[in-house]
Amino acid sequence: MSSAANPRQYIIKLIFIGVASVILLRLFFLQNFESKYKVMANDIAIYKKVVYPPRGVIYDRKGKVMLSNTTIYDLMVTPRNIKNFDTLQFCNALGLDIPGFMKIMKGVQSRNIDVRQSTFMEQLSPEQTARFQENQFSFPGFELVERNIREYKNATAGIVLGYIGEVSVDMLKKDRYASYRQGDYTGLSGLELQYEEALRGQRGVHFFERDKFNRPRDPYRGGALDTLEISGKSLELYMDADLQSYAEKLMQNKVGSVVAIDPQTGGILTMVSSPCYDPNLLRGKDRAKNYGALYREATRPLFNRATQAAYPPGSTIKPMTGLVALSVGAITPSFGLACYGSYNYCGRPIACEHKDGGHAANFRLALAHSCNSYFSHIFRLTIDYKSFGSVKVGLQKWHDYFSACGFGRQSGIDLPFEGKGLLPDTTTYNKMYRGVWNSCTVVFVGMGQGELALTPLQMANSMAIIANKGYYYIPHFVKSINNNYNDPLLKKYHEKKVVLNIPDSSFSAVQQAMQDVVESGTAIGAKVDGITVCAKTGTAENKALVNGTVIKMANHSMFVAFAPKENPKIAIAVAVENSGFGATWAAPIASLLIEKYLKDSVTVKRKSVEDKMFNAKLINKYVYTIDSAIRTHDAAVYKAKLERKHFVDSARRAQDSTLFIRWMEKRTRKK
């Protein structure tokens, strides 16, 4: 047998080679042509880690940090890794009780499988973190994970700085948020929203290999595919953090707003919308809760009055009325009016504070004494000016002047959701009076009442125009982005805006008159030693619409000013709602701010005024009543709308089901 070759050895060899060939053939196709396995291998084994860079820091004009980032900790747990540990000690460290602990643990276990890490507690307080870290080694399975959140250093300027939050599903559908993903944070208001692109930075993507428990291990291909994160750009503001907190303190317990602008650059030094809130409330885990509470607040702290609220300017508009009258040539500075306590040329008399004959003998005197008759008259003279031909052309011309000064339109400030205010033009009145009107019909506009309404920002900006004698820069907050003063985002704020063609002499006259207001007129209380302040007080009548009835409310105390006259450094507008005369509240607040800004401190002799302002509580009780009335009304409207929608939906459903039943019947009949 051994000598003759047995044929069966070849058959067995053939079987070996044949089976090996079949295996090789299968492997050849599997390894070279079935690319789905490559995709699957990458899917299961490659973990894409998104690294978020720190958001940009915001500094004030002196380099003080206003908004930065801080690290907080989330407590994560991997249930499988938990070994025996002292539950009581653990609970003490975190301030929990045992049932609470059990509840969270149960929740964690039902949410996730044992081997995966999940959140046990979000955003631990510093004390919790410290106590946990002390004993971290005795709690295996628990781990602190770092997270960055925003920190508002002085807890000021919340309305300006804004806040961030997770992008919502609706936002993600928009093109603007194309580069965002669920769970990303984005600015939702204020500068955080306006400069989102700069502050955000660029997130980095790191690829890791992960094991079957989903734990990241080594960098994939040594990190060759990774992109590095780029940290957010820092912003330098014109804002003065000290002045800001001082202003907020002056405005506490009042409803109103303050806007201060540097006329030479258009940079905003201070912007307060009172009552203020602590911006630190609007971050982290309690954001939604706190937001709700602030939203429900009757005084509406989330509403930026400085850029969104439209106040009737009252007498503070008089410098502008005068300026336009002088500019078009309707009057000369020496024009005088004999006023004996009321203006009687237009039917119903318009009251004036002063009765002595000479108080409106010329423009300076009239402005210093804030004579209503005088300004009503010169407003009429302006729009009825003979070279315009008709009152309609005249009013439009006046509108153009005011519009050029920024009234009735958005200024373009670098804050989102800016208001426009109200500036009437011919169309407005044609609509209101069906085309039949004359200068007497609209006379109240001349003294800042009627259809005219301005935002505090617009008022402050008009002061900047008067201070600069005819030009302004669009008010803005940001001086530089990452120390680049010529960032494209800031380009429009470097353009000098010249306001029509108003002669210098008109400005001089108005400035002179405004100086008199402080030195011998209605705003003597606003005088600052050693500084020539030009100002105008205002006491604005206002009404509220509550449940369909118009109610006249206490006057707004208004004040506008700029200083110093020769080399203006600050232009300011203050509005204190429903508090009375402009000279009583708004004027001292503005002058204290001017003093603080220009001299860095307030003199001892004005401490009493300061204290008075700090302590005054000027929020009227009816604010709450009116607010609740408005909210009830809004809720009713919303409910009605919802009900209507619900009704339509149910009707449609009913129809659908009828159709379906019919179709079913037809089907069964066929069968």
Binding positions for another protein, rule: CB under 8 A: 1-2, 5-6, 8-9, 11-13, 15-17, 19-20, 22-24, 26-28, 30-32, 34, 36-38, 40-42, 44-46, 209-212, 217-218, 220
The smaller minimum CB distance to another protein, of residues 214 and 508, is found at: 214
CB of 664 to another protein, least distance (A): 20
The smaller minimum CB distance to another protein, of residues 44 and 130, is found at: 44
The smaller minimum CB distance to another protein, of residues 22 and 648, is found at: 22
Identity of residue 593: L
- CA dihedral 65→69→72→76, nearest 10 degrees, is 180
Q: Which residues partner with 166 through β-bridges?
A: 185
CB of 650 to another protein, least distance (A): 29
Work out the angle between the directed axes of helices 126-134 and 87-94 (0-180°, nearest 10).
Answer: 150
| CB-facing half-sphere around the CA of 455: CA atoms within 13 A | 30
Query: d(Cα 181, Cα 185) in Å, to the nearest integer?
Result: 9
CB of 114 to another protein, least distance (A): 17
How far, CA to CA in Å, does 216 sit from each of 206, 210, 369? Answer: 11, 4, 76
CB of 225 to another protein, least distance (A): 13
Query: d(Cα 166, Cα 244) in Å, to the nearest integer?
Result: 28
Query: d(Cα 95, Cα 100) in Å, to the nearest integer?
Result: 10
CB of 494 to another protein, least distance (A): 54
Q: With CA atoms as reference, report the closest residue to 534 among 603, 613, 587, 482.
A: 587
Q: With CA atoms as reference, report the closest residue to 585 among 617, 543, 631.
A: 617
Q: What angle do CA 202, 203, 205 make, to 5 degrees?
A: 135
Identify whether the C-beta of residue 479 lies closer than 8 Å to the C-beta of residue 473. no
The smaller minimum CB distance to another protein, of residues 213 and 624, is found at: 213
CB of 111 to another protein, least distance (A): 19
Helices (DSSP H) in 226-355: which residue ranges? 241-250, 287-296, 305-308, 318-328
Identify whether the C-beta of residue 336 lies closer than 8 Å to the C-beta of residue 323. no
Is the bond leading into 263 cis (omega within 30 degrees of zero)? no
Query: d(Cα 144, Cα 126) in Å, to the nearest integer?
Result: 12
Query: d(Cα 518, Cα 214) in Å, to the nearest integer?
Result: 72
Give the pairing of strands 342-343 and 256-262: unpaired
Q: What angle do CA 226, 229, 235 make, to 5 degrees?
A: 165
CB of 143 to another protein, least distance (A): 18
Q: With CA atoms as reference, report the closest residue to 101 among 64, 139, 130.
A: 139
The smaller minimum CB distance to another protein, of residues 97 and 211, is found at: 211
Q: Token pair 């809130």 is at which residue? A: 277
CB of 46 to another protein, least distance (A): 7
Q: What DSSP string runs through 176-243? A: GGTT--TT-EEE-SHHHHHTHHHHH-B-EEEEEEE-TT--EEEEGGGGTT-B--BPPPPEEES--HHH
Which residues have a Cβ under 8 Å from the Cβ of 301 and sit 6 or more positions away?
159, 273, 275, 276, 277, 294
The smaller minimum CB distance to another protein, of residues 115 and 500, is found at: 115
CB of 11 to another protein, least distance (A): 7
The smaller minimum CB distance to another protein, of residues 17 and 51, is found at: 17
The smaller minimum CB distance to another protein, of residues 214 and 334, is found at: 214
Identity of residue 531: I
The smaller minimum CB distance to another protein, of residues 38 and 48, is found at: 38
Identify whether the C-beta of residue 71 lies closer than 8 Å to the C-beta of residue 284. no
Helix/strand/coil for 516: helix
The smaller minimum CB distance to another protein, of residues 206 and 399, is found at: 206
Helical (H) or strand (E) element with 478? strand 478-481
CB of 36 to another protein, least distance (A): 7
Q: What angle do CA 571, 574, 579 make, to 5 degrees?
A: 160
CB of 105 to another protein, least distance (A): 27
CB of 23 to another protein, least distance (A): 5
CB of 210 to another protein, least distance (A): 6
Query: d(Cα 179, Cα 358) in Å, to the nearest integer?
Result: 68
* Spacing of C-alpha 214 from chain mean position: 41
The smaller minimum CB distance to another protein, of residues 47 and 437, is found at: 47
The total number of residues written for the chain in this structure:
671
CB of 205 to another protein, least distance (A): 18
